[in-house]
Structure 1
Amino acid sequence: MSDNDFQSIFDSDEDGLLDTPAKAPKLTSSDRLERSFLEIIEFYREHRRIPRSDTSEIAERKLGARLDGILANENKIAALNDLDEFGLLHEPEAPASLDDLLGGDDFGLLDDDSGLLDTSDLPARARRIDPNEVAQRVKSSDFGAFEPLFRQKHEELRAGLSKLVSFGAAGGQRAIKEGGFFVLSGVMLFVAEITEPKAAPGVRTRYKPRTRTVFENGTESNLYRRSLAGQLYENGGLAVVPATFEELLADDEATGYIYVLRSLSDDPQIQEVPDLHKIGFSRGPVEKRIAHAQSEATYLMAPVEIVASYRTYNLKISALEHLLHRVFSEKRLRLSQVGKDGRVYEPSEWYSVPLKMVNQAIDLITSGDIVDYEYDAEARELRLRP
């Protein structure tokens, strides 16, 4: 075949079938990042939820792990913001109550029992203090209108018509309502008013109700309701309730025990950990649960001592477990042990946290206020989330 014959073939190729395909441009790291995120976007568009990194569905698990990696990297978040049409890269609004947390679990966190959800390696978020949250006490201009109410409440306490219970037992933050009486650092206070700001149309915000709190010493304050709750928790506050008040109702269902243990191990690497406690959950008696502690890795293969045990009612044990472990995740014990069977174990549910803070966290969980708190490991105290 002559050169002219070849040329006539090329000339007759009107559809370009014989054209040499253009070489695809080389993908940059930015291109790959965008493509990988667009796959997550498509998953959300189809399923109306984010992909989970703990599912047995391999394809979804891969996307979920990819999203976790993006969320842990501020540079990647900034680079992908323009593509984030569903707001997947923005921190969700904090739940206002325990019911909201349990009912809106889009991530499926409360269904996982595998321990894959440890967030201690994620970047710490700096605490921001809103100047408006710092409420000062001032002299009450109309204290005369409230003074008789305080006298009446003291009379009721003396006569046995009212009684004092711990703030947590009364319901925690949910107990702070207009007309409620509490005792803070030995001073009785009265919640005269609660104001809830209204959001502008189309503006998504988290409401932060303020109180008008009148103290029996003639002063008053406009603390946020959750800030008042925080002070009552942190200072062993009390609630004034009717004498007939019962912490448990007749139809309450016992769901198990929250327990706190101390290790009696003679292992030096365990003994040197300060304030080491195991926070666990059991549906049956704790004594039975720990009967063979010395042979179980979860108990550090050593005898344990029961420091505290709490009966729980009407509560989902697995949800409580995730909440409590999430709060103290930064101080979780990271230790590997070789068991009698020669296998390597990494015990969970052990935390280097003062017992006082554990007790306070349990109190906050049972009242439902734990969603507003986080543990400051440096200050070794629970604080209201910003």
Structure 2
Amino acid sequence: MAELSDLELLAELGVETTAEPKRALTPLQERIIAGFEDIQRFVAEHGHLPRHGDDRDIFERLYAVRLDRLRSLPEARELLAGLDRDALLDGNGPTAVAPQELGDDALLAELGIAPDAPDDITQLRHVAPRAEKRAAEEIANREKCEDFETFKPQIERVQADLAKGAREAKAVDQTEVTLEEIHPGNFFIVAGQMALIADTSDAFVTEYERKDRRVRVIYDNGTEATMLARSFQKALYRDETARRITALSAGPLFGDVAEPDDLASGTIYVLRSKSAHPYVAEHRELIHKIGVTGQSVAHRVANARNDPTFLLADVEVVAEYQLFNINRSKMEGLIHKALAAARLDLAAGDRFGRTVQPREWFLIPFQAIDDLISKISDGSVTQVRYDPMEARFVPAGT
């Protein structure tokens, strides 16, 4: 009798020898895995599970909600069982939400997907392939922005500024976008949508020994995403239509056009605080910091949350006005003298526990600030003062 090969012997014994085809992952499963990998990276970086709570970073809170949802879904737990090397799904840590049956669209929304149409579940829009995302930490999941109404007026204001020419949308491929510019208050256009950098985490060092941070990005279609600043920078460079939106500008002061031999002297900047202090929160649209700097405004405000002169909070850049051939300190003195009656009595503590009293915050509507800039331009700023009761400038002698 001829000797049987191993495969023939298995066949004789009724054992199926055909290799089981590798199961392809659906787009939904890809997104579940990608979202779980984000949570794993957070745990690796911070040494603990993401936690709930108003005092937590917005990104940590988003991951905590996502982990709760994954724990509550049997199909997600089954899919991730082989990837959960740290037993994140075993129920330890933050309390999980009660399990519930979700349809595909609802599950997509919970895991960071906002489908445009029912059949969009088969497409991965604005998201890099899984392998590329894992290797380079590309743009994270987009989610519905629950507090979009907070950002909508600001976005509409910038859109109006673009329409009337007060701001410009400059091609990214013509000028470098630094990580410093990917900062709260700055606007870009990417993938055809206006994007506002709304918040940022503290800087950290990646496994590649590079400094990075996570940013919260609000899109004009009502969605948001959390991602690495470098990933957002890469997305801008890869998009041939990407644009950087310039800050609001009234052009060079003391002249409509800068002459070739004019020397830049600095920038007047107007800021709003994002402080959670009750008084600031209540009057946020009227409280402005007005100063003059020789640095870029982005660099000046980069460490705002740690600087008592910025009330230890991030800020929104409302406007910038470029100066030419002007003494910066004297210009700042003129501005503060004209606005003296509107100066706010605010205080903040420094890192040594001492009380610091910033002198550049004023209770004044932005329209009046624009009027002030006009008076600086025509040279009449020395002849006026701001009257808080009338909310306008009046002759200095009255």
- With the shorter chain as reference, the TM-score category is 0.3 to 0.5
Q: TM-score, normalised by structure 2?
A: 0.34
User: RCO higher in 1 or 2 (8 Å CA, sep ≥ 6)?
Assistant: 1
Q: TM-score, normalised by structure 1?
A: 0.35
